[in-house]
Amino acid sequence: MRNLLLLSAMRVTACSSTAVIRSSDPDSRIYVNGEYMGTGHAHYTDQKVEFSKNDVEIRKDGCAAENYSFRRSEEADVGAIVGGILGTVPLLWVAGYKPHHGYDFECVPSSI
């Protein structure tokens, strides 16, 4: 029974990956894939498959928006690899995001 619970926990957690996104400007707003995540820094978690792309947009009133992206292929996920070898987790989730993404935001006045 204990092994079944452990395998179930590995299956659920191995599929998700989290990244902390920080902007050098603490007043800037962070959007991931068009969804508002926070001001200055944000936590992003998903269960997308390997190589999925995420678009980051950093905005501030009066400034031009800056765009970045990151993919789910930045770090190996040991739990997912072990689960894939044991056959409990498909190998589509063997990579994850780097734990931290930092972006320098410089306010370039927007041309309205």
| Full pLDDT tens readout for the chain, 112 residues | 665 555 555 555 557 788 899 999 999 999 999 999 999 999 999 888 777 899 999 999 999 999 999 888 766 666 666 666 666 556 666 667 777 889 899 888 887 5
Name 32's bridge partners. Answer: 35, 56
Name 103's bridge partners. Answer: 23
Positive or negative CA dihedral for 69, 99, 26, 44? positive
Q: How far apart (Å, rounded) are the C-alpha atoms in residues 51 and 78?
A: 16
